[in-house]
Amino acid sequence: MKKLKFTLVLIGAILMAAVVDGQSIEDGKRFLYYDKYISAKNVFQNLVNANPANEEAVYWLGQSLLAPDEDKDIAGAEAIYAKALAANQNSAILNAGLGHVELLLGKTQEARNHFETALSLSKGKSIEVLDAIGVANGDFDSKFGDASYAVEKLQQATGLKGFKDARVMTDLGDAYRKAGDGGNAQRSYEAALGFDSRYARAKYRLGRIYQSQGDSQKDIFLRYYDEAMALDPNYTKVYWTLYQYYYETDVTKSALYLDKYLAAKGSDEPQSCFLHAQMKFAQGLFAETIAAADNCISSSANPYPNLYGLKAYAAYKLGDSIAAKSGFDLYFQKQKPEKIGPKDYDTYAKVLLKLPGNEELAGKYVDKAVELDSTEAGKVNLLKSMASNYEKAGQFAQAADWYKKVLAIKKTPTKTDIFNAGYNYFKIGKFPQASEMFDVYTQKFPDDIYGYYMMGRSYWGIDTTMAYGLANNAFAKAIQVGEAYPDKSKIIAQLVGSYKYMIGYSANIDKNKDQALVFADKALAVDPADAEVLANKDILSKATLRPPVKTPIKSDKITIAPDGTITTVGNDGSVTVIVPGGKITTVKDGITTIIENGKVTMLDKNGKVINQPPTPPGRP
């Protein structure tokens, strides 16, 4: 009788460990399946409270904290697993759980050590342990984990005797997806449905494969989603996905799926108030959005930070820059830094640009947005948006600076990308910076006349009197490239403009009448009706040009420093430095000539000011 009594007590303890208040581990896992994280956590917590040694309940309690896509309680899960392992270090499932936490913390080696320990303790024959390792590594929505390792361990699980688990087979499909193997992922999901024909998660995952391939597969993935809803109307994730899918394109359908999601999720969705307010934003009801958000904030002791951001966006849409700025300021205070995205910083920058005096701060926020954006296209769009705002406001120098940043991000900038930077500099007389951009243009597109032509115009803007011949080489190259065009009708302005410069240089600097007339004839061959060229040719034909007093300086080599300073080496051996402020310094034969604000100062090799050039050696 004593033995029997002991047996009954033992059985009672086992039952208590598995079931508390009518709820079991399977109930908690079912809540997790439906993304009801709060309910799942409560079930597992109650089971652990009833029996702290229940390692399965402890494992799933930790998983309930790691399962949400957002706001994972990694620290909480780590504390749970560490405490349980301190009491039972030989638990395979708990070692796997702690390894999962370490993966999410980026501790890949520590995680692998715990996974291998778990495998050793379970001798590689526990489906639950193998699945735990596979889930930790095979989550395709996580940047952490080794997909190949996940596939290996989950394949091992599916090969164990008597395996018929739809959940684990679907986990294998997820691991294949993370590994980039869509074919095997699909086969795994279909195999899961073979084990359980009503397993909506596998059907939903099939839809996700096709949705990831873009809208061209719309009919296929929507069919899978419809089938998933038909299999299990309580499967919340498919409603959430469709709510998000239609949010930007069909707000009526989006609202319908949001309602279905919230009805299925029930009290397990703590942000239902926010989601309702956000839907008003999607419907274009911006004033109502602000009122709804205020109501959510006032009715919560710890308001959801996104509510403040929602108010800021709504105020921005209403054109209320003051309220929008106030909203973003509060949102940035309340929100975790890692939750603030590129769009938040970019929109805040647009708000700041509407309030004079905030331009520098706006620029810093766009730089933050660019830093956070993970795609080249996203970064470029952010920079172009900022540049466009400055351009529309007539602030061309700032616009050019932002367009120039595009060139540093974009691997293969287009002609338009380079033009936008160069021409905005050109428009406000920043000729050194403009010439630098158009030099880039000529390097990227050497057979296009436009880059050489605009580089010539930029140099001409610096050397307005043609005294240093800065623009000569650029215009000469523009002519060479332009004359090779089979169809010159599209480049008349650039080719004739280049000829005009050479006419002026030949006549005024070289004093070479014949050369000037040759360029005039070439220009008229392209555009016979050009009045300016016709008039200049008539004047030149009647003129007598005296040879120049000294050989004109022609810049053979031109370099541009980051600050816009131009250094040229002339064909006479002289070195000329032209700084952005206009100061020109020329050094030749030991004599330095400085031209600044119309004043000419000459220095000898010792730095002494001289009023006139010294008498050359060997002359009286």
Q: Which of 336-345, 506-515, 591-600 bottoms out in mean pLDDT, i.e. has the lowest?
A: 591-600
Per-residue pLDDT reduced to its tens digit, 253-294: 999 999 999 999 999 999 999 999 999 999 999 999 999 999
Average pLDDT over residues 504-513: 90
Q: Which tokens in the block code for residue 402?
A: 């932002």
**H-only helix segments in 212-358:** 218-231, 236-246, 251-265, 272-282, 286-298, 306-317, 321-334, 342-353
What is the reported pLDDT for 613?
A: 47
Per-residue pLDDT reduced to its tens digit, 208-226: 999 999 999 999 999 999 9
Alpha carbon dihedral 238, 240, 241, 246, in 10-degree steps, equals 120
Q: Are the C-beta atoms of residues 236 and 35 closer than 8 Å to each other?
A: yes
Q: Which tokens in the block code for residue 488?
A: 């010159």
Q: How confident is the model at residue 618 (pLDDT cuts 50, 70, 90)?
A: very low
Residues 6 or more apart whose CB falls under 8 angstroms from that of 597 comprise: 582
Q: How confident is the model at residue 556 (pLDDT cuts 50, 70, 90)?
A: low
Q: Are the C-beta atoms of residues 540 and 523 closer than 8 Å to each other?
A: no
Cα–Cα distance between 298 and 104 in angstroms, integer?
Answer: 34
**Cα distance from N-terminal residue to C-terminal residue, the chain:** 139
Per-residue pLDDT reduced to its tens digit, 346-359: 999 999 988 988 98
Average pLDDT over residues 161-166: 94
What mean pLDDT value characterizes the chain?
Answer: 90
Per-residue pLDDT reduced to its tens digit, 258-268: 999 999 999 99
Cα–Cα distance between 103 and 147 in angstroms, integer?
Answer: 12
What is the reported pLDDT for 582?
A: 66
Cα–Cα distance between 167 and 138 in angstroms, integer?
Answer: 13
Cα–Cα distance between 350 and 321 in angstroms, integer?
Answer: 9
Q: Does domain 407-542 have CATH number 1.25.40.10?
A: yes
Q: How confident is the model at residue 587 (pLDDT cuts 50, 70, 90)?
A: confident
Q: Is 584 helix (H, G, I), strand (E, B) or coil?
A: strand
Smallest CA-to-CA distance from 156 within 172, 145, 178, 136 is with 172
Cα–Cα distance between 617 and 620 in angstroms, integer?
Answer: 8
Cα–Cα distance between 591 and 573 in angstroms, integer?
Answer: 12
- Burial class from Cβ neighbours inside 10 Å (0-12, 13-18, 19+) for residue 86 reads exposed
Q: Are the C-beta atoms of residues 336 and 302 closer than 8 Å to each other?
A: no
Query: Sheet containing 591-596: which strands, arranged edge to edge?
Result: 555-560, 566-570, 575-578, 584-588, 591-596, 599-603, 609-610
Q: Is 284 helix (H, G, I), strand (E, B) or coil?
A: coil
CA–chain centroid gap for 453, Å, is 34
Q: Are the C-beta atoms of residues 118 and 92 closer than 8 Å to each other?
A: yes
